C-alpha cells in the first residue's frame, strides 16, 4: 500500500508500545511538562494520604502504572478490571460488572441505517446516552440525527438541532455516529496509539492511554469523536453498571470517546442499544461475515451508499432505502 510510510504496520505499533510499556517510561521518554500534565489527567488524580484509604491509594497507583490494553495478558486485563470494580466500590459504593470480553472469532460488525424509515424521534439517542454512561451535564451524544431536505445526502446540509414535532412532511432523517472505518484515519493520527481497530472491526480507545490531544478528532471526516472537557456527571441511580473496559466505563476527564457499537453488549451477542430502541426498525446491525445476517441481506438486496466514499475510509456503516 502506498500509505505504508504514513501508516505503521501492526508489528511496528506493538514494538513501539513494548518499548514503552508502562506509563512511567512513557512519561520519562516524552520528558515534557505537557505530557506529565496529560498523564496526570489520565487517572483523574492521584490521591494524597489524607484523601484516600491505603487500599484505594494502592489501587490507584497500580492503575496509573498499568500497561496499554493491547499489551496486557488476559490475567493483567482481569486484574485491571477487578481494580476498577473495587475502586468504584470504594469511591462511590457502586457495584460494577466490568468486562474485557475479547472479539468473537469469525465476526466483523456492520451497521445499516434505513433513511426511508427513520422518523427523527431520537429514541436511539436517549438509549445510547443511558447505555453508554454519557455525561448528562453537557449532554454528550454519540449519535446525531439530522433533518434533511429531499435530494440532499450530506448531513452537514441538514438541521442537527431541530426541536419540533417529527416527522415533518417532505423531510427525511439521517443519523450519524462513529462509522468504524476499516481504514480509519483517526487511529493513524494518535501519537500514543491509544485508539485502534479491533479484529471485529470496532474502533476503540484505551481511555487511560489517551492524552487528550484530539488529533484523532481532527482526523475523523465524519464528526465521530467526542471529547469530554469535564468530569462526566451522571446521577448515581442512572449509571449503567454493566460495563466494558473499552466501552461504556465512565471516562476520566480529558479523554476522547465515541460510539463503540455498544461493545459491552455486542460482544455478548446482544444488539447495540440504539438498534434495540429504534421503534421503526430503521437500524440494522450484524455480522458481515455471516451470509445469513440481516446486514448482509441489506447489502445484497437494498440500495446502499456510504458517506464520503471517495476518502477510501471504508466505513462499516451503510445508509439504505427500502
Q: Under the rule (CB under 6 A), what is the footprint of ligand SF4?
A: 178-181, 184-186, 189-190, 192, 194-195, 203, 205, 210-216, 220, 222, 224-225, 256, 258, 313
Q: How far apart are CA 24 and CA 292, in angstroms?
A: 48
Nearer to ligand SF4, 57 or 311 (CB): 311
Shortest Å distance, C-beta 155 to ligand SF4: 12
Centroid of chain to Cα 308: 21
Closest contact distance (angstroms) between CB of 193 and ligand SF4 is 8
> Closer to ligand SF4 at the Cβ: 59 or 256?
256
Task: Give me the least distance between CB of 65 and ligand SF4, in Å please.
Answer: 18
Q: Quick one: 160 or 185, whose CB is closer to ligand SF4?
A: 185
C-alpha R_g of the chain: 20
Closest distance to ligand SF4 from the beta carbon of 206 (Å): 8
**Nearer Cβ to ligand SF4 (90/189):** 189
Question: What nine digits make up the cell of 99?
Answer: 468486562
Nearest approach in angstroms of CB 188 to ligand SF4 is 9
For the residues of 154-184, what is the DSSP string, one character each? -GGGSBSS--S-SPPTT-EEEEE-----TT-
Q: Supply the minimum distance, in Å, between the C-beta of residue 258 and ligand SF4.
A: 6
Instruction: Quote the least distance from Cβ 210 to ligand SF4, whole Å.
Output: 3
The three cell numbers of residue 92 are 462511590
Nearer to ligand SF4, 107 or 307 (CB): 307
Query: Which residue number, 47 or 185, has a Cβ lying nearer to ligand SF4?
Result: 185
Residues ≥6 apart with Cβ < 8 Å to 101: 244, 263, 264, 267, 268
> Based on CB atoms, which residue is closest to ligand SF4, 118 or 184?
184
All 3 cell numbers of residue 111?
451497521
Residue that the C-alpha cell 465524519 belongs to: 222
Q: Which residues pair with residue 304 across a beta bridge?
A: 320
Please report which residue ranges of the chain form alpha helices under DSSP H. Answer: 10-18, 23-30, 33-42, 54-64, 74-92, 123-131, 185-189, 215-219, 263-266, 273-277, 294-301
Say how far apart CA 129 and CA 277 lie, in whole Å.
12
Q: Which residue has the cell 496526570?
A: 40
Amino acid at each position: 500500500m502506498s500509505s505504508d510510510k504514513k501508516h505503521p504496520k501492526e508489528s511496528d505499533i506493538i514494538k513501539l508500545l513494548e518499548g514503552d510499556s508502562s506509563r512511567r517510561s512513557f512519561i520519562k521518554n516524552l520528558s515534557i511538562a505537557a505530557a506529565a500534565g496529560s498523564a496526570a489527567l489520565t487517572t483523574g488524580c492521584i490521591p494524597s494520604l489524607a484523601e484516600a484509604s491505603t487500599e484505594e491509594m494502592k489501587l490507584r497507583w497500580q492503575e496509573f502504572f498499568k500497561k496499554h490494553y493491547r499489551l496486557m495478558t488476559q490475567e493483567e486485563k482481569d486484574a485491571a478490571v477487578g481494580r476498577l470494580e473495587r475502586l468504584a466500590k470504594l469511591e462511590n459504593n457502586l457495584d460494577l460488572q466490568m468486562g474485557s470480553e475479547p472479539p468473537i472469532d469469525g465476526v466483523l460488525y456492520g451497521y445499516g441505517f434505513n433513511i426511508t424509515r427513520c422518523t427523527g424521534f431520537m429514541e436511539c439517542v436517549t438509549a445510547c446516552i443511558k447505555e453508554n454512561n454519557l455525561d448528562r451535564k453537557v449532554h454528550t451524544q454519540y449519535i446525531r440525527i439530522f433533518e434533511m431536505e429531499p435530494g440532499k445526502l450530506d448531513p452537514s446540509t441538514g438541521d442537527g438541532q431541530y426541536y419540533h414535532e417529527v416527522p415533518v412532511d417532505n423531510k427525511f432523517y439521517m443519523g450519524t455516529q462513529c462509522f468504524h472505518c476499516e481504514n480509519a484515519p483517526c487511529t493513524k493520527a494518535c501519537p500514543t496509539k491509544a485508539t485502534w481497530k479491533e479484529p471485529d472491526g470496532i474502533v476503540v480507545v484505551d481511555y487511560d492511554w489517551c492524552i487528550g490531544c484530539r488529533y484523532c478528532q481532527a482526523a475523523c471526516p465524519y464528526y465521530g469523536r467526542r471529547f469530554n472537557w469535564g468530569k462526566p456527571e451522571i446521577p448515581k441511580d442512572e449509571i449503567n453498571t454493566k460495563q466494558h473496559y473499552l466501552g461504556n466505563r465512565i471516562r476520566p476527564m480529558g479523554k476522547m470517546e465515541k460510539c463503540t457499537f455498544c461493545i459491552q453488549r455486542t460482544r455478548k451477542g446482544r444488539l447495540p442499544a440504539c438498534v434495540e430502541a429504534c421503534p421503526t426498525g430503521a437500524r440494522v446491525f450484524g455480522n458481515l461475515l455471516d451470509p445469513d445476517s440481516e446486514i448482509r441481506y441489506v447489502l445484497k438486496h437494498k440500495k446502499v451508499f456510504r458517506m464520503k466514499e471517495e476518502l477510501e475510509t471504508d466505513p462499516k456503516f451503510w445508509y439504505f432505502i427500502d
